[in-house]
Amino acid sequence: MALHWIVAVMIIGNVVLGLVADDLPDGWIRSAVDTHKSIGLTVLGLAVLRLLWRFANPPPPLPDSYSPAERLGAHAAHWALYALIFALPITGWIHDSAWKGAPTHPFALWGVIPNVRIGAIEALDAATKERIHAVFFDLHVWFGYALYGLLALHIVGALKHQFWDGEPELQRMLP
């Protein structure tokens, strides 16, 4: 539960930061983008923990009142969200590691842990990095769009079960 809410807040904050970073005053952009990267890589670490936790502690079964289609939809949305929680930081990380400005703009995780870019990508030739930089940014943006859609479905689904079906859906995720 704690991991669910921490990751949820970090992801929503990071979407906002990613979308507004370029519109901030010039002096703030660099630190906003670096904070975005630090939050994103932290989400990746927490997502690994979350998955391990989930395999070790399977969640309680869904209520019997849910139809087979609702169960399938809920499970599909949950696993697609897990996939995006990995895909978004990984594509951002690859995009940033291939950035031609990386050597002159060192990035330290939370300003503390240096050299967190992917060395194997940094070592590639300039033309290949340029392509990787562009392709993985497009993927990052598209996975962002997929996240908005799935997050909306996830929230609408949870609220529907809670208030329409009268199932204690939110209580499943609260202590």
**Which positions lie near ligand HEM, rule CB under 6 A?**
11, 14-15, 18-19, 21-22, 33, 36-37, 40-41, 43, 88-89, 92-93, 95-96, 140-141, 144
Q: How far is the CB of 87 from ligand HEM (least distance, A)?
A: 9
Phi, psi (rounded to 5 degrees) for 28:
-100, -20
Q: Is 171 helix (H, G, I), strand (E, B) or coil?
A: helix
Q: Residue 43 or 121: which CB sits closer to ligand HEM?
A: 43
- Cβ closer to ligand HEM: 36 or 161? 36
Closest CA relative to residue 112, chosen from 168, 30, 34: 34
Rounded Cα–Cα distance for residues 137 and 118 (Å): 15
Q: At closest approach, how far in Å is the CB of 41 from ligand HEM?
A: 5
Cβ closest to ligand HEM, residue 35 vs residue 162? 35
For residues 33 and 121, which CB has a smaller minimum distance to ligand HEM in the complex? 33
**Cα–Cα distance between 17 and 92 in angstroms, integer?**
13
Helix (H, G, I), strand (E, B) or coil at 147: helix
CB of 24 to ligand HEM, least distance (A): 9
Tokens of 150: 């799935």
Q: Closest Cα partner for 139 from 96, 98, 87, 85? A: 87
Query: Cα separation of 6 and 109, whole Å?
Result: 18
Nearest approach in angstroms of CB 9 to ligand HEM is 11
> Distance between CA 68 and CA 64 in Å, rounded?
10
In this structure, which amino acid lies at residue 162? Q
Whose Cβ is closer to ligand HEM: residue 18's or residue 129's? 18
Min. distance of Cβ 99 from ligand HEM in angstroms?
7
Residue 126 beta carbon to ligand HEM: minimum distance, rounded to whole angstroms? 18
Q: Which is nearer to ligand HEM, 84 or 167 (CB)?
A: 84
